[in-house]
Structure 1
């Protein structure tokens, strides 16, 4: 079943991959550049294998719609200093399975862009609210709870996501998650590299400061896929 995910991804993710591949040719600080890595070879490997960013995936109106819809449930909770696993700091979160028709259309566009056809998806969408002083430490999402692809929308603020190889800490990839962009992680980026959201004071991309404000991410995942029977 894992091969089903990999094969389907070649068709479902072509638009996101083309966008990331175009970013390979940007000069330092050039508009549209969304990825920087410890080496050109690693950059090409991870982009080809499934790490991508689609800038401007949302319009300003769509961002405002999603932000309004999640604001009420988020406000019912306080910012927490530490997640149960110690990974997330200064955050609030909720899970949502019921959305307005307009938001459902946006989320369906995310699913159509990021996930292979026919792969079952988690009905609940994870909404994570990071305070300006919040951050996410390096981690790999458990394969017990989600499958081969993670796709997230960035609302209200830009940020920098850093991926670091579990085998060699000198191998890293930075992704510029601009406000209203969509990021997608799959393949080696999903299983072989940790990912994190940098603190405001560490939030630099290719030498440029990327100011961090309050950031809401809306994250879709697919169900864990059963192993292929022997």
Structure 2
């Protein structure tokens, strides 16, 4: 009897998570282009649907019974959904850096409600994703709504697709000449690789990491410089 009850609860949870995630997925498909450009104006018209997904996040608590991939997908989706919500609440604007509340930047405002707790975007990124669910590819999953940020994917992450989607997003990011300029002997790369160097160098150098995804083979002694970050909104 207990096994049957546990199985039914697991099935119900699976169906609920997938149903709610599909709401966010449909919104991304509708309002985000394949290149990651967001139509915030049209997204704002669907704010109630986004709020329905946010409502699910507010009452859902990921726990250790969830697989690492399921937790990772959930928290990246939460980060991105709340970032979009914050932009919509302040739209129109030129940059996410224009958002301030009581002297706090967008990333330090305690407004992210998940499972009855309140978080900041920074806490989700640095304390949950980077520490507890570490994967350098997280940096192309969470989106800072800015021009130099890796593109916002137009698919919601799931337990089943998170590894594949993050890998593709990292390949797209590394080989995007507007965000990283690569050649055999010299690379001009995103400041993300500088700010979070420790994440990308746990198994080798930054060049080693780039070569995992790069379409060209970069010399191990290539000269490295970092590009100025564009904080303008990633909108139409």
Flag the structure with larger Rg: 2
Please give the TM-score of this superposition, normalised by the length of structure 1: 0.27
**TM-score, normalised via structure 2 length:** 0.26
Flag the structure with more relative contact order, 1 or 2, with Cα contacts below 8 A and sequence separation at least 6. Answer: 1
